[in-house]
Amino acid sequence: MFIPTPLSEQLRASADDPLRVLIVGAGIAGTTAAQLHRARGLEPVLVDRVSSFDNAGYMLALMPMVDAAIDDLGVRDAYVQASTHIDRYRVLDHHGSTLREDSLGAILSDFGDYRGISRAALLDVLTTSGAPVSLETTVRSLSDGTESAHVRFDSPDGPNEATFDAVIIADGIHSHTRRFVPGGAKPSETITGWGGWVVWTDADADTDLGEEMWGNGFFVGSYPVAGAVGAFIGGPRDDTAVGPVAFVDSIRSRLTSHTPRLERVLDAVTAAEDPFYWVLDDVRARPWASGRTVLLGDAAAGFLPTAGIGAGMAMESAWVLTGVLADAVSTDVGAALTAYEAEQRPRVESAQSNSRQLARLMFRRSTLLAHVRNIAMRLMTIEAALGPIKKLLQKPARIPEVTAVVD
């Protein structure tokens, strides 16, 4: 669990660390990095601008690239208990009829499990041993020097400042702190023009099934987690502006068939009082590393959810980053962060490109193109669609060697 902690207390705890590390953002990437550092005996300072984690939930699908971090943290049992195995994947056409159903287990079994988990549950798993965090805390300025990075904070305790050997910026796709690194103020951004609502419904008998309906101007995806099904219902933002009830009514009017899961998900949207609206966009920042500062997770490369791999890549990246810093001293940090970026960015951007390609296939408005897509989907294998991701799993991430800086 997260342990809300005054910033001054965290700063005192980290003052004598052999490597003083600041992590900005207590999402999946930042929390994974913080906990891996703690597992190696450090006391990283973890801050987040939010006031609480009460609304930390949406659904995630995690591929086996997370296993190294999960195992190094010693939370395998907690992870399995809090998640569910996803084995099957079903695609419906724009009328609600089944186009195909495939076994993900057959594709991924050589590498490990594909598991569904809520974001809140994953954060609970990652913080099983406890995670001090300073809430409502932001970085006001960051000066990256040759001997240390000097950071000024705003927090509930008032202004504060400290020096660090390494600063990890992991405060999300709309990062406030990214502006302190070169090129971080306006990273390249791809926006689909789509958005939609996240809702939850009770678990059904198909606890291993992910189901998606690829419509003509709408999309409905539902994914199992432990004890529930999380769903996303969306379309072009101009169309969703009518609100969830009217938008769902427009979807229903085009259906000639439906599965029990689809019907329950659409009912859940119309019943929800104030469902969370998720704008589908992504970000690709360059460079990641600059001096003693590095971008991690969505702050470096924010994913569209179409390939179900963004959170997995964030955790893998955190594992590589903390591994490359594990034996570093202050003078090695710049070289370590450069080595990390050279190793990990091609993997992340390959997975991100796959998500973008799938988005171009899924998010179509034209009925004619939807018919063409249906024909292609009957011929395409899921293995071919996930080919780039399978290649990543076949060649797992590694921690690169770092050439130490000699004075």
pLDDT digits (tens, 9 = 90+) for 36-57: 999 999 999 999 999 988 765 7
Return the beta strands (E) in 166-227 as ranges: 166-169, 188-202, 209-214, 219-225
Beta-ladder partners of 162: 151
Predicted local distance difference test score (pLDDT) of residue 116: 95
Radius of gyration of the chain (CA): 22
Q: Name the phi and psi angles at 196, rounded to 5.
A: 180, -175
Give the distance, in angstroms, between the CA of residue 229 and the centroid of all CA atoms in the same chain.
18
Residue 165: exposure state from Cβ atoms within 10 A (0-12, 13-18, ≥19): buried
Residue 386 corresponds to which amino acid?
Answer: L
Could you say which residues of the chain have pLDDT below 50? Answer: none
- pLDDT on residue 105: 75
pLDDT at residue 241, rounded to an integer: 96
119 neighbors 59 (Cβ within 8 angstroms): yes
**CA 7/CA 136 separation, integer angstroms:** 10
Residue 50 has a CB neighbour count (10 Å cut-off) of 16
CATH T-level fold of 2-188+281-394: FAD/NAD(P)-binding domain (3.50.50)
Could you identify the residue written with the tokens 């998010």? Answer: 363
> How deeply is 350 buried, as exposed, middle or buried, from its count of CB atoms within 10 A (0-12, 13-18, 19+)?
middle
Crossing angle for the helix pair 333-362 and 387-394, to the nearest 10 degrees = 150
Count of CA atoms in the C-beta half-sphere (13 A) of 252: 13
Sheet of 219-225: strand order equals 98-103, 88-92, 209-214, 219-225, 228-236, 188-202, 276-284, 301-302
Q: What is the pLDDT of residue 277?
A: 93
Q: What are phi and psi of 114, to 5 degrees?
A: -105, 120
Q: What is the pLDDT of residue 167?
A: 98
pTM for the predicted model, two decimal places: 0.94
**Model pLDDT, residue 184:** 82
So what's the pLDDT on residue 70? Answer: 98
